Amino acid sequence: MAVQPTFAALGLLSTLCLNLSKIHILQPTSIQQRAIPVLLPSQKHHLVVAAEGKGKTLAWLLPLLQRMRIEDIRRRSEKPNTGSPRALIVVASMPQAQALAWSLKAIAQNLKLGATVVTEGDSAATVSQRLSEGFDLFISLPNTLSTMTFAHTSEIVVDDFEQIADSPLSEIAPAAAPRARLILSTATSHKAEPFLLRYFPAESSKLPANTKLEEKKAVEISPQRFKHSFIPISPKDPNAQLLVALQARKKKIFSQKCIVFCAFLQQVIEIEQLLNQNDFTCAAIHSDLSENTIVRSLWKFKKGLCKVLIVTEVSARKENIPPAELVVNFGLPETSADYAYRAQYARAACITLASTEKQGKWTNYSGANRQVQTESQVLVHSS
């Protein structure tokens, strides 16, 4: 039996491993297994390439935090103000910056590292003030880079490089070249590789070929692609029955992802509260949320910082939702087209919880030419 990899086995500090376990991130993804051991000790520039949802962010963020913490320990936490950020993370949008800052609070807890977001309204004086206050990790948009200097910056990460490759990034690369290590995180390397070769031709290196995963095009639903399951529920306490179904798959959900489709807004709110109370990491999307909150929730789900996304179909159709291993229909959709829309997001299983009288319609929707599984059969199979 193969031994499951752990973050500790990759060489991460026990504090980081504990912080990850608190947010239910227990096992590294494939890209994290390959990247973390390489990035922890390396002084080279690297290109981290993997498809959305594969865990690229933690693949570079965890080594970055560990290197900064070890450096602090060696110099007994004395952080001289050099006028430059120690580490810079460049992102494509302000909601993305805010979501990353939120994640850092959980992941970098007890590491004594100060992180701040530079907004478009911040002046050079404001940036200087934050440096003097002990903030040493800056999260910035490309158009705010002009407020900073990088003479003493040792780490620069550009996240989602393909989205901002044509921004003023070229202005910071030569300035930071004498000292900084540059990491480009991207879903496709066709712009990142020329960038590295242009500014760092002698030092550029790319992680093992298997970490380069091309973006996959959406495919039409096929009943043979994954398992369709039906769980009959009674109207007494459907929320509790949904919880039972997800509890049976809890171990898998902590390492994979799940999308729960609901019929209306109140269901989304109730289920989010219920799952959060039972130690699931959740995010929700519905019409009462602000655009920034929705973007932050989607970003957390894409990056694997939460494992369950709860949505109404109306809201889902307005957003760019990534696929998940498990799709759960809380109630049978009205039409077969709606069922096909939801099922296209499933990589491994599409489960429908609905009343018994909906069973025949579900069979037609799913194309399942076999005996419908009962709730007990589904739970035993998944445990």
- The domain in which residue 246 lies consists of 227-382
DSSP label at 75? T
Mean pLDDT of 307-321: 86
Q: Please give the Cα distance from 269 to 157 (Å, whole number).
A: 36
Same domain, 44 and 192: yes
Distances (CA, A) of 338 to 266, 314, 353: 20, 10, 15
Q: Please give the Cα distance from 247 to 242 (Å, whole number).
A: 9
**Domain boundary pick from 176, 211, 246:** 211
Q: Report pLDDT digits (tens) over 6-59.
A: 899 889 999 999 989 888 888 888 888 888 888 888 677 788 888 777 788 899
Cβ–Cβ < 8 Å for 150, 172: yes
Q: Report pLDDT digits (tens) over 183-220.
A: 888 887 777 777 776 666 544 444 443 333 222 333 33
Mean pLDDT of all residues in the chain? Answer: 77
Which residue type, as a one-letter code, is found at position 301?
F
Same domain, 205 and 233: no
Identify whether 90 is part of a domain.
Answer: yes
Identify whether 124 is part of a domain.
Answer: yes
Identify whether 192 is part of a domain.
Answer: yes
Distance of alpha carbon 116 from its chain centroid, rounded?
Answer: 20
User: Which pTM does this prediction carry?
Assistant: 0.59
Predicted local distance difference test score (pLDDT) of residue 214: 29
Number of domains in the chain: 2
Rounded (10°) angle between helices 56-74 and 94-107 = 60
**Domain boundary pick from 162, 187, 211:** 211
**Which residues partner with 48 through β-bridges?**
185
For residues 213-222, one letter each, b for 16 or more C-beta atoms within 10 angstroms of the residue's C-beta and e for the rest, the string is beeeeeeebe
Same domain, 140 and 190: yes
Predicted local distance difference test score (pLDDT) of residue 366: 82
Q: Please give the Cα distance from 58 to 228 (Å, whole number).
A: 32
Q: Report the percent of the chain where pLDDT is more than 90.
A: 9
Cβ–Cβ < 8 Å for 103, 304: no
Confidence band (pLDDT; 50, 70, 90) for 259?
very high
CATH number of the domain encompassing residue 304: 3.40.50.300
List, in sequence order, the alpha helices (H) in the chain.
14-22, 30-39, 56-74, 94-107, 124-132, 161-164, 169-176, 192-199, 238-247, 250-255, 265-277, 291-302, 313-316, 336-343, 359-366, 375-382
